[in-house]
Amino acid sequence: MSETRTQSYTVRLELVDEPGELLRTLEPIADNGGNLLSIFHERGNVTPRGHIPVEVDLEATPERFETIVEALHDAGVNVVQAGQERYSEELTVVLVGHLVDTDLSDTLSRLRAENGAVSDVSLSAPEGTEGESSARLRLKTDRGAVEETLDAVRTVADEKDLRVIEPLAAGGGV
């Protein structure tokens, strides 16, 4: 009996910086029954080979996921990592401080590199780039690794003199 339950997967890719490359990469996912959850595409970063790193979170059955990875390879897409259920927990934190001056792009990249994927960012800078700003970050992390992910956020925040507003503990009442 084949497995028909959908699961979450993360695929890390390296793309050439050319118009239409992201769309070309997403077509094998859609054509083979993958359901996109999120795409992290930071054009300002490049890999050592000069390509753009892209992380795609998707849902599919295990059979469809194998077909998707094969289709990506067949389409000439450089698949760096294709893994099952990489991110299964989510948390939200707020960073406060001079986020722009301390290079928000670097902060996000470092958090992704540690063990969490930044799935959503909302920046508020009411005083412009001169004053303090705040960013709400929604992070996805491995099951059971929430504390480790929070430690990574705290470490980066400490190095950049940012304050962290952490999520309430599960089950914490008032």
Burial 85-96 (b: 16+ CB within 10 A, else e): ebbeebbebbbe
What pLDDT does residue 78 have? 86
CA distance 12 to 124: 29
What tokens were used for 145? 């690794």
Q: What is the mean pLDDT of residues 74-99?
A: 80
> How high is the mean pLDDT of the chain?
83
Q: Which domains does the chain have, with CATH numbers?
A: 7-84 (3.30.70.260), 89-165 (3.30.70.260)
What pLDDT does residue 3 have? 52
Percentage above 70 pLDDT, the chain: 87
CA nearest neighbour of 150 among 122, 114, 121, 126: 114
pLDDT of 14 strictly over 50: yes
Cα radius of gyration (the chain)? 18
Higher pLDDT among residues 43 and 95, named by residue: 95
What pLDDT does residue 59 have? 92
| CB within 8 Å of 170: residues ≥ 6 apart | none
pLDDT of 30 strictly over 70: yes
* Stretch among 20-34, 108-122, 146-160 having the lowest mean pLDDT: 108-122
Please write down the HEC assignment for all residues of the chain: CCCCCCEEEEEEEEECCCCCHHHHHHHHHHHCCCEEEEEEECCCCCCCCCCEEEEEEEEECHHHHHHHHHHHHHCCCEEEEEEECCCCEEEEEEEEECCCCCCHHHHHHHHHHHCEEEEEEEEECCCHHHCCEEEEEEEEECCCCHHHHHHHHHHHHHHCCCEEECCCCCCCCC
pLDDT of 172 strictly over 50: no
pLDDT of 90 strictly over 80: no
The pLDDT tens digits of the residues spanning 97-113 come to 999 888 888 888 888 77
Q: What is the mean pLDDT of residues 25-41?
A: 92
Percentage above 90 pLDDT, the chain: 32
Residue 29, number of CB atoms within 10 A of its CB = 24
